[in-house]
Structure 1
């Protein structure tokens, strides 16, 4: 699905921002007029123009808040969050503008979330020698423990974005409590503490489930775990080792990160595995000079995984595989996949499902549904309906 740009990276990120229109996180006109001002493959104008839109919409929010128009302020703050987050996206990890842009995105979201009919609660989940940040959302009419959805993101996620991507408004309307949080390699833990990714996410989700179990709004016997994007690896990995997960959603699947990276060119990948580090690094550098997609993927991967080179990254990615682990999952599992997913090949969904021994439902979204892209960002309404209809049944007991 092409929105505006010929380049895959810019176009998908534009679609991603536009998708949040479904739940109040963007407006189509604001997204498209911003995209029209951005130069082809020009990451500097990408940052400047998305920031320009974000600041304008943030101004609308502040004006409405000062006038006591709380609903208007809430909507504008939510949209400003999305636009600041998008402005940050292609900045290098060491760019001095990255942290302030991220913080403005986070603060805009919090200004909106505190204006919800049932204001979100900021949480801090004890984890090793620090705390993991997140948000608890509870229906306005909640009375006692509720079936609960725990949402976690992936490779480039922030917890605030999960409000839209995991369709929290739809979850609340159906009576769920929702806990969304960030772990190592994501959001604030990565940006503020330098916590990089780890493959054994059962040690990250476990503390979140401990925390959730003590909340009066959470029915700890009915917890559904939803992993978005690379969270489609993190969540199944956690469910394989923690029987407190009553239902699992891989949204999308991410069975094997290294296999996904080599899927389209397996012969080249085999050759790269045999090549000396100096060759691997040189080829990766060359690829980054000619391809925005390759450059962003390599640089963001080095930041997220805490590695210094393409060669080191090549040795790290195979650690993130569910092969030999997926068979341990014993709760009902929903696997979502997109026909046109350019990050996770559809064929890997079949490999993941083949390893599962639990009750499993697979939903492949097609091009004609407008939901064939990664995480179904072309049709989040359809994806969220499928997900929550399934959770309604899986957590009904």
Structure 2
């Protein structure tokens, strides 16, 4: 790999010219803070990966994930539970990279089997990790959602503890939730609840259940199950959401009032803005005018001209459960926090606002202005090593600031 800059400047000048691939590496490096990746494994892997060639990217991460999984199995068989746990977690991370890479392949036939490999590695981590854990089955409409309840390993039986419920983003894997919030919560004596919601991971890949904008219809039954668990203090419930869940958190809080505090990482008011940003003016005009047939035809032409654009569209649109370009854009437009919705929020919210936010710039401050004086915006900067969406390489700093705030709010 030959970059037009010195390797030590990669934080500011990039690991790859391709923004998506560069961001993936930043996320992976940030996972090292929580034991979900190892820097040497990442760097030796990308050293042999050039730009482009989706098949090579998929094959390489799949090979790494399977190798680490094999090492985890060997540790487990020899009775080394903790070594096995952390290796299973790293394997889950790398296998998830392979799952994400399927959209760059000629066929998606590998998605489900590799996803199941990833999920199996995660489940092995749950079985062996340094905490107490049990699975949750959460009633949701005519089906159920899978969840995981984690408690500190040495927690006093019967004692009530603060509990952090985590909402995933649009495409992150469940093992990423360990890194974004669960580990930090457990270290501070919290219980943690993780789950797959509609459109997320197993609910999308295995059951084809799509996203929904009215996330209170999800969070309310989740909260009911959380409150049934031993050791949960009903007066010290907190909610955390990462990436697109920066929209789902405030939306949920407008109607679900049992949470004492929440974190939106980052704040999101209008999900559709990141979709509209790169849409040509002519196509935007067709969308606004309701010219569905014309819009779909012109979008289809554009997709044929760029394989990368088509790949990104398939990845971003899949969870919405829509069948056409126009229909998808109209669906995404429903994901907005209006002043009327924001007026219903009574829960204090900490809102992260990273410098160089590439998807929803400026929306953290807008959410704060809409949701009242109980909200607080915390800035993250490039000088702190915590720029870009969700501060991918500043997760230790993010953890410090958000849990200092949560500890005070839940005291």
TM-score above 0.5? yes
Q: Mark the runs of 5 or more structure 2 residues left unpaired by the alignment.
A: 1-10
> Residue 343 of structure 1 corresponds to which residue in structure 2?
359
- Deviation of 1:358 after TM superposition, in Å, equals 4.4
> Residue 364 of structure 1 corresponds to which residue in structure 2?
379
Q: Does structure 1 conserve the Cα–Cα contact (< 8 Å) formed by 2:86 and 2:129? A: no
- Deviation of 1:158 after TM superposition, in Å, equals 2.9
Structure 2: distance between partners of 1:340 and 1:286: 32
| Aligned: 1:326 with 2:342 | yes
Q: Mark the runs of 5 or more structure 1 residues left unpaired by the alignment.
A: none
30-39 or 220-229, larger mean C-alpha shift: 30-39
| Aligned: 1:163 with 2:174 | no
| Aligned: 1:30 with 2:41 | yes
Of 161, 164, 168, which aligns to 1:153?
A: 168
| Aligned: 1:7 with 2:18 | yes
> Residue 113 of structure 1 corresponds to which residue in structure 2?
126
Q: Does structure 1 conserve the Cα–Cα contact (< 8 Å) formed by 2:166 and 2:241? A: yes
- Deviation of 1:41 after TM superposition, in Å, equals 2.2
Counting matched residue pairs gives 394
| Aligned: 1:374 with 2:389 | yes
| Aligned: 1:176 with 2:190 | yes
Structure 2: distance between partners of 1:99 and 1:29: 28
- Give a deviation string over 1:174-229, Cα, whole Å, max 9, x none: 11101011110101111111100111100100011000111112111111110111
Of 195, 208, 211, which aligns to 1:194?
A: 208
- Give a deviation string over 1:109-145, Cα, whole Å, max 9, x none: 1112211232422211111111111111101222212
Structure 2: distance between partners of 1:262 and 1:32: 34
Structure 2: distance between partners of 1:356 and 1:293: 38
- Equivalent residue of 2:333, what SS? helix
Structure 1: distance between partners of 2:151 and 2:179: 15
- Using the size of structure 2 for normalisation, the TM-score is 0.91
- Equivalent residue of 2:55, what SS? helix
- Equivalent residue of 1:131, what SS? strand
- Give a deviation string over 1:353-387, Cα, whole Å, max 9, x none: 11112411101211111111111111100011111
Structure-2 change in CA distance of 1:315 and 1:180 (3 Å): same
| RMSD of aligned Cα (Å) | 2.0
- Deviation of 1:269 after TM superposition, in Å, equals 6.4
| Aligned: 1:385 with 2:400 | yes
> Residue 244 of structure 2 corresponds to which residue in structure 1?
230
Counterpart mapping for 1:33-44 below 5 A = 33-44=44-55
- Equivalent residue of 1:33, what SS? helix
